Chain A
Amino acid sequence: MSHGTGEWEISGRRVAALVERYWYLLRSSWPRLLDLVYWPAVQMLMWGFLQTYVSQTDGTLARAGGTFIGAVLLWDILFRGQLGFSVSFLEEMWSRNLANLMMSPLRPIEFVIALMIMSIVRLSIGLVPVTLLAIAFFGFNLWGLGLALAAFFVNLMLTSWAVGIFVSGVLLRNGLGAENLAWTIMFLMLPLACVYYPVSVLPPWLQTIAWMLPPTYVFEGMRALMIDHVFRADLMLWALGLNVVVFSAGTIGFLALLDSARRQGSLLQTGE
């Protein structure tokens, strides 16, 4: 790979400029803002009522009160974190602005940092109202998890960014033809990371794969906290270690795909 002078310099001004650009875009469109809240709210309400119904008929689930709502909210952090990253990137492709950015002094690392910031901004706009709804409807207080929530959040965001970075590389290399990947890639995690059920449910060979994914540790940790009232710091450390690997792999993949895009000439033509 050819990364020349100044490739890794970071200018706060350039990062802020790009964040400003996304913020202008977000606030200029109320449907965009509404979209951030709509689906997480629908999903949380659906799972919340399902949990209410099932827990009335099953003692085990009654003891595991709130695990479905907790799982759905943590899943949204993972999914919406990646989507927030990828959609901001896609905005550049939809508006045919990517070449302007790639030709500007903006470094890839600055681009990535701006997208990370925007993923947190978008996630906050979408998820904070939904967590308040969860308190209002089901008495489930995600914020009551305290420090454990911080550990869950950091690990889930790291995974979401790693996937978002890699998907951005694929989009740079393959254009909007790969757009669907941005919307669907994270769903691969849904069965494998055991969002709604314990890892022990999976067949042994699939358990091995599940334990290779950082979010698996977070969802197991969430269940341990809510059912057994134990915070499993060991699981969080495993998740963090794996996230370092996944994040590095995502970044290396992104840079390799960016180089490939330069070779293929796809930075100028990012259509289908």
Chain B
Amino acid sequence: MTEAPAPESPAVEADRLVKIYKGGTAVDGVSFRLPAGSVTGLLGGNGAGKTTTIAMIMGLVMPTSGTVRVLGAEMPRQRYRVLERMNFESPYVEMPLRLTVRQNLTVFGKLYGVDGLDARVRRLAEELDLVDLLDRPTGKLSAGQKTRVALAKALVNEPELLLLDEPTASLDPDTADWIRARLERYRAERGATILLASHNMGEVERLCDRVIIMKRGKIEDDGTPEALLARYGRSNLEEVFLDVARGRGEAADQAQARDAAREAAQ
């Protein structure tokens, strides 16, 4: 593994990112910085541009304009400088189903240049409760078990930057909660930067210290969960999300301004 970025440099820095496909604009001038060690939630409805934004950070999609730097490297041009230090998990990407869990983790461990791979696979299996599943074909596992395997693959190289696209989609509440607890532990142990795209507001509220809300390719709002709740006068992020989705952001601004004025007058 190569050296970590300087403490003050952000793990991810997106600057006026634009992605235009033939069908329209997927991401429209998005800028943000993710400090090293932060956990950020990327919220937005279907087609908001979350997955495209994450794909540009991963170097899988080339921006139409704008730049994205990851761990100091410009993506996708300099991606091979940093790919060993990052990883991702998405329910829309699978691992070879005929390979056993152990074979899959071994192959990916080698691709990521992991030293002491056997020990690493053993430890991951213990941490993610996969010990009994190691020699079973991945395709024979339940959805929750497959998600744990995908998470093990995402953690196999102990990434400094972890990109998660709806990591608990289609999981039962118990398994989803279990996954969240493992992510919290990984962040605490490794100090990793995590960017999490999700539709699950409870998940974002629990895991993230910052939330970026996207709508139609643009950033509609950005702040800590507490700040967003206060700003919209809501008790949970789901209500905030619905306000943004239904275009009530401006109304929230006005309400907040009225409250502030009233407080000032009193």
Is B a genuine binding partner of A? Answer: yes
Q: Which chain A residues have a beta carbon within 8 Å of chain B's beta carbons?
A: 2, 4-7, 9, 11, 13-14, 16-18, 20-21, 24-25, 28-29, 91, 95-107, 259, 262-265, 267-268
CB of A100 within 8 A of CB of B93, answer yes
Q: A2-B62, A24-B99 are in contact. Are A264 and B110 (CB under 8 A)?
A: no
Q: A21-B96, A28-B98 are in contact. Are A4 and B78 (CB under 8 A)?
A: yes
Beyond the given pairs A20-B110, A100-B93, 18 more chain A to chain B contacts, judged by CB atoms under 8 angstroms and listed by A's residue number, are A4-B78, A4-B80, A5-B78, A14-B110, A14-B111, A28-B137, A97-B94, A101-B111, A103-B58, A103-B87, A104-B111, A262-B60, A265-B19, A265-B21, A265-B26, A265-B55, A268-B55, A268-B93
Q: Which residues of A contact B52 (CB under 8 A)?
A: 265
CB of B80 within 8 A of CB of A91, answer no
CB of A2 within 8 A of CB of B76, answer yes
Q: A18-B107, A24-B103, A104-B111 are in contact. Are A262 and B76 (CB under 8 A)?
A: yes
Q: Which residues of B contact A101 (CB under 8 A)?
A: 111
Q: Which residues of A contact B90 (CB under 8 A)?
A: 99
Q: Please give the distance in Å from A96's CB to the nearest CB on chain B.
A: 4
CB of B60 within 8 A of CB of A99, answer yes
CB of B94 within 8 A of CB of A105, answer no
A97 CA to B26 CA in the complex, in Å? 24
Q: Which residues of B contact A11 (CB under 8 A)?
A: 113
Does B32 belong to the interface (CB within 8 Å)?
no
A11 CA to B114 CA in the complex, in Å? 13
Give which listed residue, A2, A9, A99, A267, contacts B80 with CB less than 8 A: A9
CB of A13 within 8 A of CB of B60, answer no
Residues of B18-60 contacting chain A, CB below 8 A: 19, 21-22, 26, 51-52, 55, 58-60
CB of A16 within 8 A of CB of B110, answer yes
- The 13 sampled A-B contact pairs (Cβ below 8 Å) are A4-B77, A4-B80, A9-B80, A17-B107, A17-B110, A18-B111, A21-B103, A25-B99, A95-B97, A103-B60, A104-B111, A105-B111, A259-B62
Residues of B57-97 contacting chain A, CB below 8 A: 58-62, 73-74, 76-81, 83-84, 87-88, 90, 92-97
Q: Which residues of B contact A17 (CB under 8 A)?
A: 106-108, 110-111
Does B186 belong to the interface (CB within 8 Å)?
no
Does B218 belong to the interface (CB within 8 Å)?
no
Q: Which residues of A contact B59 (CB under 8 A)?
A: 103, 262
Q: A97-B96, A105-B112, A268-B55 are in contact. Are A7 and B80 (CB under 8 A)?
A: yes
Q: Which residues of B contact A102 (CB under 8 A)?
A: 60
CB of B98 within 8 A of CB of A25, answer yes
Q: Which residue of A lies closest to B75 (CB)?
A: A4
CB of A104 within 8 A of CB of B83, answer yes
A263 CA to B65 CA in the complex, in Å? 11
Q: Which residue of B lies closest to A104 (CB)?
A: B111
Q: Which residues of B contact A7 (CB under 8 A)?
A: 80
Q: Please give the distance in Å from B215's CB to the nearest CB on chain A.
A: 19
Q: Which residue of A lies closest to B56 (CB)?
A: A265
Q: A262-B76, A265-B55 are in contact. Are A97 and B95 (CB under 8 A)?
A: yes
Q: Which residues of B contact A4 (CB under 8 A)?
A: 74, 76-81
